[in-house]
Amino acid sequence: MFDILLSDQSHDPLYLQLYTQIRQQIRSGLITNGTRMPSVRSLQLQLNISKTPIETAYQMLSSEGYVRSKPRSGLYAINPYEYGHAAGPVAAEHNLAVNLRPAIHPTTLPKANMDFNPTHLDASLFPLRIWKKMLHDAMENSAELLCQYGDPQGEYAFRAVIADYIRQARGVVCTPEQIVIGTGITYSIGILTKLLADVAHIAMEEPGFTKVREHFRLDGFAMTPISVHDQGLCLEELESSAAQAVYVTPSHQFPTGSVIPYAERERLLNWASTRKAYIIEDDYDGEFRYLGKPIPSLQSLDQHGRVIYMGTFSKAFTPALRMNYMVLPMPLVSEMERMNHLLASPSRIEQWAMQSFIEQGHWYRHIRRMRNTYRKKHDRLIELLSHHFADHIEITGHSAGLHIQVSVKTHVKAEQLVEMAAEQGVQIYDLHRTWMHQANRPTGYPKVYLGFGGLSENDLEKGIMLLFKAWSILWRE
């Protein structure tokens, strides 16, 4: 039997008292490495409490690497400090990888059957037959150009087609000369780091897109986190900062899903005009909006040439294409012409194919199909969550995009919610690496993120039922 003393006078719930005492005994060596932990049943008899707080405490210890389950054997104590390294989330804090992944190291989790990955798309929607024809026609119609290098800024005719499309779809006003075709967000940010030579200080949404933040940081820019609320980034913090540029995702903030309303957009543009600063507008999933009227892009409202607009084909078409576009204000176009030798556009064949895909109307039909499908999945996911969890959760960030934010009304940490889900074969995400400073993370209810693009409606139903099974223990009396 372990030496555990639970107090009715403590403000901490029973599961937290139990978790804290066992963790301290493992760390201090009172419970040595490899010690088999008592079963839930035996602790229940010893402590004269229900199974729920014991199971919750064990799950928390498991997620932090203090106990490990052996099949058909039980739980065993693990002291990560005795091995000279930290386990679980502690190790994750030192992981420099910036890809989306759960907080728990993947080797500690069962393989997920239902993956609510925010980056996944519906593979069944990809127009494979039409795209193959576009590629074939591109090579047939431009055979004489196949052995020549193209424009490093991107094929001019393709840029003209994009200019027309984003004017119609997002209100972006530009000429083909202002557009730079790239191979993804990392490439475009790399170009910007050279164009913004006079900028030393950049503000980022907190939480925000890790890959962009790390790129700026590694290139020597001073970074300032600006907190995000239900109307996007906090403009009061931005206005009081020394930032000369700010990176924002105004149409569907990543990861919270908040949308900057019209009045706040005007205020943000006024800040940029007054400060002579730049706004980097990443409209990464601007094609997908489900609630309310579409809000114009920041670039479409800009009267002073302070917005750098970015769009991509990754969300609405496929990330395998590795193609995006950036619209520069005219002053930066002149600067770019002096560094033209550093540009490298994607495959000419794929640019020609995408140009034809848009010109022949396939793109618009594809977008309508995507919107209809994702709207149905979005609505179904909201319906399922509301039905199973009722007032135990709060859903936010669901007006646009391909993922939602869920606040879970429990004192269990987000990392623990991720592992509890994984034990039932469901992968959800806490996206903790989107925070520049972990101390800035809110202290309220834990937040997790569920993407719905890559799952069928049947899979959504199965996944949420399994998630309810995983979490229902949290609200048992």
202 three-state secondary structure = strand
Q: Inform me whether the pLDDT recorded for 244 exceeds 70.
A: yes
Q: Is residue 309 part of a domain?
A: yes
Q: Inform me whether the pLDDT recorded for 102 exceeds 50.
A: no
**Mean per-residue pLDDT over the chain, rounded:** 87
For 59, 82, 92, 344, the CA distances from 27, given in Å and listed in that order, are: 17, 8, 19, 53
Q: Is residue 51 part of a domain?
A: yes
The residue among 328, 360, 392 that closes a domain is 360
Residue 269 dihedral angles phi and psi, to the nearest 5°: -65, -35
Counting residues of the chain whose pLDDT is more than 70, the rounded percentage is: 92
Those residues with Cβ within 8 angstroms of residue 378's Cβ, 6 or more apart along the chain or in another chain: 290, 398, 404, 452
Look at residue 416 in the predicted model and tell me its pLDDT.
92
Look at residue 80 in the predicted model and tell me its pLDDT.
64
CA distance 82 to 28: 10
The token duo for 164 is: 């027309």
Q: Inform me whether the pLDDT recorded for 81 exceeds 70.
A: no
Look at residue 294 in the predicted model and tell me its pLDDT.
66
Look at residue 275 in the predicted model and tell me its pLDDT.
95
Same domain? 180 vs 205: yes
**Cβ neighbours, 10 Å, residue 175:** 12
Give the tens place of pLDDT for each residue, 355-412: 999 999 999 999 999 999 999 999 999 999 999 999 999 998 887 889 999 999 998 9
Same domain? 174 vs 192: yes
End-to-end C-alpha distance for the chain, whole angstroms? 26
Place of tokens 């010893």: 46
Q: Is residue 136 part of a domain?
A: no
Tell me the β-bridge partners of 280: 247, 308
CA distance 401 to 411: 28
257 three-state secondary structure = coil
Same domain? 105 vs 220: no
Same domain? 326 vs 387: no
Look at residue 15 in the predicted model and tell me its pLDDT.
84
Q: Is residue 447 part of a domain?
A: yes
Q: Classify residue 390 by its DSSP letter.
A: G
Q: Do β-strands 324-327 and 179-182 pair in parallel, antiparallel, or remain unpaired? A: antiparallel
Give the tens place of pLDDT for each residue, 338-354: 888 889 899 999 999 99
CATH number, domain at 391?
3.90.1150.10
Counting residues of the chain whose pLDDT is more than 90, the rounded percentage is: 56
Owning domain of residue 452? 94-123+366-475
Q: Inform me whether the pLDDT recorded for 101 exceeds 60.
A: no
Q: Is residue 426 part of a domain?
A: yes
CATH number, domain at 194?
3.40.640.10
Same domain? 190 vs 225: yes
Q: Inform me whether the pLDDT recorded for 87 exceeds 80.
A: no
Look at residue 235 in the predicted model and tell me its pLDDT.
96
Q: Inform me whether the pLDDT recorded for 83 exceeds 80.
A: no
Give the tens place of pLDDT for each residue, 180-223: 999 999 899 999 999 998 999 999 999 999 889 988 988 889 99
Q: What average pLDDT does range 122-137 have in this prediction?
A: 95
Look at residue 92 in the predicted model and tell me its pLDDT.
33
Same domain? 355 vs 372: no
Confidence grade of residue 112 (pLDDT, cut at 50, 70, 90): low
CA distance 331 to 64: 51
Q: Is residue 128 part of a domain?
A: no
Same domain? 276 vs 423: no
Handedness of CA 459, 460, 462, 463 (dihedral sign): positive
Look at residue 144 in the predicted model and tell me its pLDDT.
86
Look at residue 154 in the predicted model and tell me its pLDDT.
96
280 three-state secondary structure = strand
For 122, 249, 256, 435, the CA distances from 207, given in Å and listed in that order, are: 26, 11, 8, 4
Same domain? 340 vs 381: no
Q: Is residue 131 part of a domain?
A: no
Q: Classify residue 153 by its DSSP letter.
A: T
Task: Check if the beta carbon of residue 392 is closer than 8 Å to that of residue 408.
Answer: yes
Q: Inform me whether the pLDDT recorded for 23 exceeds 70.
A: yes
The residue among 313, 338, 360 that closes a domain is 360
Same domain? 107 vs 175: no
Those residues with Cβ within 8 angstroms of residue 148's Cβ, 6 or more apart along the chain or in another chain: none
Look at residue 243 in the predicted model and tell me its pLDDT.
96
Q: Do β-strands 324-327 and 307-312 pair in parallel, antiparallel, or remain unpaired? A: antiparallel
CATH number, domain at 79?
1.10.10.10
Q: Inform me whether the pLDDT recorded for 107 exceeds 80.
A: no
Q: Is residue 133 part of a domain?
A: no
Give the tens place of pLDDT for each residue, 2-16: 678 787 767 778 888
Q: Which of these ranges, 78-92, 137-151, 305-319, 362-376, has the smallest mean pLDDT?
A: 78-92
Look at residue 103 in the predicted model and tell me its pLDDT.
38
Task: Check if the beta carbon of residue 202 is closer than 8 Å to that of residue 246.
Answer: yes
Distance, CA of 180 to chain centre: 25
Tally the domains of the chain.
3
**Cβ neighbours, 10 Å, residue 394:** 14
CA distance 144 to 139: 9
The residue among 297, 328, 360 that closes a domain is 360
Same domain? 164 vs 301: yes
Same domain? 101 vs 168: no
Q: Inform me whether the pLDDT recorded for 104 exceeds 60.
A: no
Same domain? 49 vs 160: no
Give the tens place of pLDDT for each residue, 40-75: 888 888 888 888 888 888 888 887 788 888 877 888
